[in-house]
């Protein structure tokens, strides 16, 4: 369903008529003043050069009143005025001053009117969105997570359109050095009309990301996207299981609960530490270095704060049969675990919970100050403690970095990592699902292999499909029956004896034949989709290898094809001449 073609025009008219309605009274007053002034001036007698009685025409009277009202003054025309005319002009001058003062006051008040500013901003926003010819994502919510998403998309060369309810956050967008302009509007993203104006049904929109801190708003956005643009992938944040279930019932493709996601990650870290590190390395924010943590130990753990986050942490530990003691101000409903009443910021509650014998602690309250206090107190009582701290606000990053916990849980970063993994490379999701099912030994081998070759900086992960549009050179050769292996494609087009700084992690085929970390001798087939990981620059080189006939021919044969029409024609003539000269 497309938005009405006259939607921006209608909004333009609404702004125009809003201005005219506000200026209706002062404009009518000015018209009345000018009309009375002109009429009175034509009725007031004057004298000409010969002393005869003379009356101004309507044209001369209107001309004189017009430049007199603007305080310019070109003199009395066409003859010097009589005393009666000058007396009437004095009256007109003071009337026009009153009228203009009232009009200018109304104009200044109109310019400061909030509703008019919003209407003009919306009109400008709609115009900017309509002019977008590049693919873009619609980001609803420019909080901590939205900012991270927009920055990552900008680094990948993708455009974003932002809807944010808080005007101050919208103003911050101009302060960030984005490579491309980010159209943004301060409005309610849960309003379907606002989503349409923001480009939900725009031909260039390739996805919508609902990241507001209100589950009901994210649910409304998901429903609107499902009904108005069912083909678009929708990523929605949900902090409660009820909201997630409601979103799923409407067909939302990707639902991200940051606490549930970290709960799964913690369970994976306890079960397969190497897989946990591998996932963190692959899904980190581009341009950062993966922080290597020590493995979470198995043994007695303590949890401070049994809210939404705390309950999911308990579920993760129960799944791995890890004993846990809960510290909370109010007794939790779950009585199957040992609990201590308190907040964990004092040593007494921690001592009662067995902090000296514990191997790890989770500071998971909704207060950053309390979480830091719990972590500092617990580390003083047990120096070897493995500490997981929940950071609720990204602005407190400096405090948490100064403390140096083993793991800092930042919901905004968890959501950003997951969104980027889904948006940038959809093939990464099934690969990560397969990783979670592998054993510790295999994951440790893959992690060692990848990081030894590519380093610990977060790599670039991308996918390539072998088809005519993405890999024309390779696709044509394969359709002619040639056999080409991965080993021959992963080489430099500058020197075919050197390998590119990238690896194939996953090969997906239409016949459900999936290969994890395929061998270099694996032949490539038309329609294959490859998941690759590599250093910056490797993606462009690999793309050239499979798309450019000259580069691919060099990799396969070691010969450089002549480039351009003239050189190709000359090369064919030389080959034909040499063939005729053969005995």
Sorted by where each begins, the domain ranges of the chain are 15-111, 132-256, 274-424, 459-583
| pLDDT for residue 16 is more than 60 | yes
| pLDDT for residue 137 is more than 70 | yes
d(CA 515, CA 524): 12
**In this structure, is the dihedral angle defined by the CA atoms of residues 575, 580, 581 and 583, taken in order, positive or negative?**
positive
Q: Classify 459-583 by CATH class.
A: alpha beta
Q: Does the domain formed by 15-111 have CATH 1.10.287.70?
A: yes
**pLDDT value for 114:** 83
pTM: 0.71
What DSSP character marks residue 45? -
The label of the residue with tokens 């499909």 reads 465
* Contact of 337 with 389, CB cutoff 8 Å: no
**pLDDT value for 220:** 93
Q: Which tens digits make up the pLDDT trace of 82-108?
A: 999 999 999 998 999 999 999 999 999
76-90, 99-113, 551-565: least confident range: 551-565
Instruction: Name, in order, each residue with C-beta under 8 angstroms of 397's C-beta and a sequence gap of 6 or more.
Output: 391, 410
| pLDDT for residue 258 is more than 90 | no
**pLDDT value for 583:** 46
Query: How high does pLDDT run on average in the chain?
Result: 86
Question: Could you tell me where the DSSP H helices lie in 425-485?
Answer: 428-435, 440-454, 472-479
Q: Classify 132-256 by CATH class.
A: alpha beta
Q: Which tens digits make up the pLDDT trace of 524-551?
A: 999 999 999 998 889 899 999 999 888 8
**pLDDT value for 393:** 84
**Joined tokens for residue 58:** 């309507």
**Mean pLDDT over residues 61-65, rounded?**
91
Who has greater pLDDT, 307 or 331? 307
Going by C-alpha positions, the residue among 470, 473, 481, 497 that lies closest to residue 555 is: 497
**pLDDT value for 175:** 82
Q: Which tens digits make up the pLDDT trace of 312-361?
A: 899 899 988 899 999 988 876 666 888 888 888 889 999 999 999 999 99
Who has greater pLDDT, 17 or 372? 372
> Sorting pLDDT into bands at 50, 70 and 90, what band is 125?
very high
**Joined tokens for residue 359:** 């191997």
d(CA 179, CA 132): 15
**pLDDT value for 239:** 83
**pLDDT value for 569:** 54
107-111, 120-124, 394-398, 557-561: least confident range: 557-561
**Mean pLDDT over residues 225-245, rounded?**
88
**pLDDT value for 116:** 84
Q: Which tens digits make up the pLDDT trace of 142-193?
A: 988 898 889 888 887 889 999 999 888 888 888 888 888 999 999 999 999 9
**pLDDT value for 577:** 52
Instruction: Name, in order, each residue with C-beta under 8 angstroms of 316's C-beta and a sequence gap of 6 or more.
Output: 263, 264, 266, 267, 270
Matching fold, domains 15-111 and 459-583:
no
**pLDDT value for 572:** 53
Please give the helix or strand (H or E) that residue 532 lies within, else none: strand 529-534
Q: Which tens digits make up the pLDDT trace of 453-499?
A: 998 888 888 889 999 988 999 999 999 999 999 999 999 988 888 99
**pLDDT value for 7:** 47
d(CA 424, CA 272): 26
In the chain, how long is the greatest CA-to-CA distance? 122
Instruction: Name, in order, each residue with C-beta under 8 angstroms of 245's C-beta and a sequence gap of 6 or more.
Output: none
**pLDDT value for 6:** 44
**Joined tokens for residue 455:** 């380093």
Select the highest-mean-pLDDT range: 92-101, 396-405, 503-512.
Answer: 92-101
> Sorting pLDDT into bands at 50, 70 and 90, what band is 561?
low
53-57, 265-269, 362-366: least confident range: 265-269
> Sorting pLDDT into bands at 50, 70 and 90, what band is 136?
very high
* Contact of 331 with 339, CB cutoff 8 Å: yes
Report the percent of the chain where pLDDT is more than 90.
40
Distances (CA, A) of 456 to 277, 293, 317, 537, 568: 11, 12, 28, 16, 45
Report the percent of the chain where pLDDT is more than 70.
92
Q: Classify 274-424 by CATH class.
A: alpha beta
Q: Which tens digits make up the pLDDT trace of 405-448?
A: 888 888 888 888 788 777 777 788 888 888 888 888 999 999 99
Q: Is 335 exposed, middle or buried (0-12, 13-18, 19+ CB in 10 A)?
A: exposed
């Amino acid at each position: 369903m497309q938005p009405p073609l006259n939607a921006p025009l209608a909004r333009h008219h609404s702004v125009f008529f809003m201005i005219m309605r506000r200026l209706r009274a002062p404009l009518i007053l000015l018209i009345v003043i000018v009309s009375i002034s002109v009429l009175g001036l034509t009725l007031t007698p004057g004298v000409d050069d010969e002393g005869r009685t003379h009356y101004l025409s309507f044209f001369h009277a209107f001309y004189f009143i017009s430049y007199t009202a603007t305080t310019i003054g070109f003199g009395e025309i066409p003859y010097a005025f009589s005393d009666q005319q000058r007396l009437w002009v004095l009256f007109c001058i003071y009337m026009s001053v009153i009228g203009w003062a009232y009009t200018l006051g109304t104009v200044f008040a109109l310019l400061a009117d909030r509703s008019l500013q919003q209407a003009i901003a919306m009109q400008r926003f709609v115009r900017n969105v309509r002019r977008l010819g590049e693919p873009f994502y619609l980001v609803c919510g420019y909080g901590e997570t939205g900012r991270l998403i927009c920055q990552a998309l900008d680094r990948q060369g993708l455009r974003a359109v932002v809807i944010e309810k808080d005007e101050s956050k919208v103003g911050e967008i101009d302060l960030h050095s984005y490579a491309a302009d980010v159209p943004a509007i301060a409005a309610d993203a849960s309003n379907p009309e606002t989503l349409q104006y923001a480009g939900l049904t725009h031909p260039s929109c390739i996805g919508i990301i609902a990241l507001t801190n209100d589950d009901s708003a994210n649910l409304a956005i998901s429903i609107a996207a499902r009904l108005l643009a069912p083909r678009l992938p929708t990523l929605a944040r949900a902090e409660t299981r009820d909201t997630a279930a409601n979103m799923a019932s409407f067909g939302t493709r990707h639902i991200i609960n940051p606490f549930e996601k970290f709960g799964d990650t913690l369970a994976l870290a306890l079960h397969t530490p190497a897989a946990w590190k591998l996932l963190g390395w692959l899904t980190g924010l581009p341009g950062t270095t993966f922080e290597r943590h020590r493995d979470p130990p198995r043994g007695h753990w303590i949890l401070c704060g049994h809210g939404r986050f705390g309950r999911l942490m308990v579920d993760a530990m129960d799944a791995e049969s890890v004993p846990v003691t809960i510290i909370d101000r109010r007794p939790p409903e779950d009585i199957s675990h040992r609990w201590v009443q308190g907040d964990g910021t004092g040593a007494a509650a921690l001592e009662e919970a067995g902090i000296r014998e514990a191997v790890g602690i989770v500071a998971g309250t909704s207060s950053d100050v309390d979480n830091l206090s719990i972590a500092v107190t617990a580390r003083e009582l047990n120096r070897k403690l493995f500490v997981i701290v929940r950071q609720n606000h990204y602005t407190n990053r400096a405090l948490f970095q100064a403390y140096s916990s083993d793991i800092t849980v930042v919901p905004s970063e968890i959501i950003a990592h997951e969104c980027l993994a889904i948006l940038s490379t959809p093939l990464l999701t099934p690969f990560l699902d397969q990783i979670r099912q592998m054993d510790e030994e295999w994951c440790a081998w893959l992690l060692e292999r990848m990081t030894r070759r590519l380093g610990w900086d977060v790599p670039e992960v991308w996918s390539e499909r072998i088809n005519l549009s993405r890999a024309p050179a390779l696709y044509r050769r394969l359709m002619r029956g040639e056999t080409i292996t991965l080993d021959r494609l992963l080489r430099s087009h500058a020197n075919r004896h050197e390998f590119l700084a990238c690896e194939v992690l996953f090969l997906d085929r239409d016949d459900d034949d999936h290969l994890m970390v395929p061998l270099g001798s694996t032949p490539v087939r038309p329609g294959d989709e490859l998941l690759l990981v590599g250093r910056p620059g490797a993606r462009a080189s690999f793309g050239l290898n499979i798309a450019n006939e000259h580069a691919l021919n060099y990799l396969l044969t070691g010969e450089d094809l002549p480039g351009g029409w003239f050189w190709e024609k000359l090369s064919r003539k030389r080959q034909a001449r040499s063939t005729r000269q053969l005995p």
